[in-house]
Amino acid sequence: MPVRQWVISVPKRLRGMLADRSRAAAAVDLKTLLLPPGLPVTRLEVEDYTDADGEPALRVLAVIEESVVVEQVNGRDVVAMKSAIRDSLRQRGITLFPYVFIAKQSELDEEENEEENERRGEG
């Protein structure tokens, strides 16, 4: 009986997404990234993302300190943070657009709890 060989074809536009994970993680390393002091970030995570048009992109989650009063965050600090992330990615040859989402850990935990409750039928 002949052996079947399966070939998985990744579309050309998506190939870069799979190969750039370690470079993308290095680009958002808090030890080397110059972020504005007015927006205290405790963690940055980057993952593959697809935008509303179906194009490959990156999703960057910026987790900020719990003590931050969101209403008092300076817009310039947000722009500076996003620019620093974009610049760091470009310096490493990553040209995918980074969609940056900002949240506190408590907000992420709350969202996770709501999703868990919905899965259990308690929501």
Question: What is the rounded average pLDDT for all residues in the chain?
Answer: 85
Assigned architecture for domain 12-120: 2-Layer Sandwich (3.30)
Note the pLDDT of residue 7: 45
N- to C-terminal Cα separation, the chain: 53
Predicted pLDDT of residue 85: 96
| pLDDT > 90? residue 58 | yes
* Neighbouring C-beta atoms of residue 15, cutoff 10 Å: 11
Is residue 42 within 8 A of residue 65, CB to CB? The reply is yes
Say yes or no to pLDDT of 15 above 70. Answer: no
Most confident of 6-10, 45-49, 109-113: 45-49
Cite the DSSP H helix spans in 1-123: 12-19, 21-27, 75-91, 105-120
| pLDDT at position 101 over 80 | yes
- Each domain of the chain, given as residue ranges in start order, spans 12-120
Predicted pLDDT at 35: 94
At residue 66, the pLDDT reads 96
CA–CA distances in Å: residue 19 to residues 13, 26, 34, 59? 12, 13, 25, 15
Q: For residues 63 and 104, is the Cβ–Cβ distance under 8 A?
A: yes
